[in-house]
């Protein structure tokens, strides 16, 4: 596995640096702002790709395959959950090497997202994650009203395939506010696809068949259009995550509420 020494990486990994030899770890924030759980150590062997968006070079922190991104549009960075975040809507990053994610077989991904300027009356879609072929997507579907004011399309999170054996899983996001951070986790073990939000139970869907291995291609993070959204701490795994692992990941990385104290 190729490892790129990051200038900054999430404080969860700082606790795990002894298990991840070769990584230079500099926490971007005080680790006391997070709950770090020992169970996260079990996830590191399954990571195939990690991007914290903390480097101006836009290089990922960890990659199994080639790590040089191709910029599409003018992707911008802003303050994130930890360090910096990618602003979806300003541009995207294409990683062509298919070894960076196991989308053709079974695996998982997770990332943190935060609304910036979401129009909650009428908006298009904002892609968070996309396969190079655009067949696989993780996105926020913007709302749309009919001329009479009734909803034609509800605001929601969607993960699915729009080519091959089509299908999707969804979750609500209409109540999300700017400045809030939410964890999205996706499992696939074809023909099953599942979505979890904020460490909750997976909402699974069964596709009508298994996609062709040649359907997907490389990995795209972010988008050139849609309502601006912050993306941070993106991971790919070579196996699906359990509900307990996703819950632990959410608890470990989420910012503490003021009521929880230090």
Q: Which of 129, 125, 34 is nearest to 81 (CA)?
A: 34
Does the residue 243 lie in any domain? Answer: no
Does the residue 192 lie in any domain? Answer: yes
* Number of independent structural domains in the chain: 1
DSSP secondary structure code for residue 15 in this structure: H
Torsion of CA 241, 28, 130, 200, to 10 degrees: 40
Model confidence at 34, pLDDT cuts 50, 70, 90, reads: very low
Model confidence at 86, pLDDT cuts 50, 70, 90, reads: very high
- Indicate left, alpha or beta for 191 from its phi (over 0: left) and psi (-120 to 50: alpha): alpha
| Mean pLDDT score of the chain | 84
Does the residue 98 lie in any domain? Answer: yes
Does the residue 169 lie in any domain? Answer: yes
What pLDDT shows up at residue 20?
A: 36
Share of the chain residues as helix, strand and coil, in percent rounded to the nearest 5: 15, 40, 45
What pLDDT shows up at residue 40?
A: 66
Do residues 139 and 251 make contact, with C-beta atoms less than 8 angstroms apart?
no
Q: What backbone phi and psi angles, to 5 degrees, belong to 214?
A: -85, 5
Report the predicted TM-score, pTM, of the whole model to 2 decimal places: 0.83
Does the residue 61 lie in any domain? Answer: yes
Containing 248, the helix (H) or strand (E) segment is: helix 243-253
Does the residue 229 lie in any domain? Answer: yes
Q: Which of 28, 147, 143 is nearest to 85 (CA)?
A: 28
- The residues, ordered by sequence, that sit 6+ positions from 29 with a Cβ below 8 Å of its Cβ are 11, 82, 83
Q: Which of 188, 239, 194 is nearest to 216 (CA)?
A: 188
What pLDDT shows up at residue 25?
A: 31
Return the residue matching tokens 């191709």.
70
Quote the domain boundaries for residue 162: 46-236
Does the residue 111 lie in any domain? Answer: yes
The three-state DSSP-derived secondary structure of 167-184 is EEEEEECCCCCCCCCEEE
Does the residue 31 lie in any domain? Answer: no
Model confidence at 145, pLDDT cuts 50, 70, 90, reads: confident
Task: Report the CATH number at residue 132.
Answer: 2.60.120.200
What pLDDT shows up at residue 152?
A: 65
Model confidence at 257, pLDDT cuts 50, 70, 90, reads: low
Mean pLDDT along residues 133-138: 97
């Amino acid at each position: 596995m190729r490892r790129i020494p990051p200038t900054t990486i999430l404080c969860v990994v700082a606790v795990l640096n002894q298990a991840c030899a070769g990584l230079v770890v500099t926490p971007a924030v005080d680790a006391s702002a997070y709950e770090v759980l020992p169970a996260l150590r079990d996830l590191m062997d399954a990571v195939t790709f990690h991007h914290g968006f903390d480097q101006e070079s836009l290089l990922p922190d960890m990659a199994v395959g080639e790590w040089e991104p191709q910029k599409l549009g003018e992707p911008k960075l802003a303050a994130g959950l930890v360090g910096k975040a990618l602003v979806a809507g300003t541009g995207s990053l294409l990683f062509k090497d298919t070894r960076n994610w196991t989308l053709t077989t079974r695996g998982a991904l997770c990332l943190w997202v935060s609304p910036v300027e979401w129009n909650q009356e009428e908006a298009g879609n904002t892609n968070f994650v996309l396969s190079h072929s655009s067949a696989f997507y993780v996105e926020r579907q913007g709302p749309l009203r009919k001329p009479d004011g009734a909803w034609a399309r509800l605001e929601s999170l969607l993960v699915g395939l729009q080519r091959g054996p089509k299908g999707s899983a969804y979750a609500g996001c209409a109540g999300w506010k700017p400045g809030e951070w939410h964890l999205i986790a996706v499992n696939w073990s074809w023909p099953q696809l599942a979505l979890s939000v904020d460490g909750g139970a997976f909402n699974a869907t069964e596709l009508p068949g298994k996609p062709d291995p040649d359907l997907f291609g490389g990995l795209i993070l972010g988008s050139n259009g849609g309502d601006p959204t912050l993306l941070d701490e993106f991971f790919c795994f070579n196996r699906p995550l359990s509900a307990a692992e996703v819950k632990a990941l959410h608890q470990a990385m989420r910012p503490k509420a003021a009521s929880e104290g230090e």
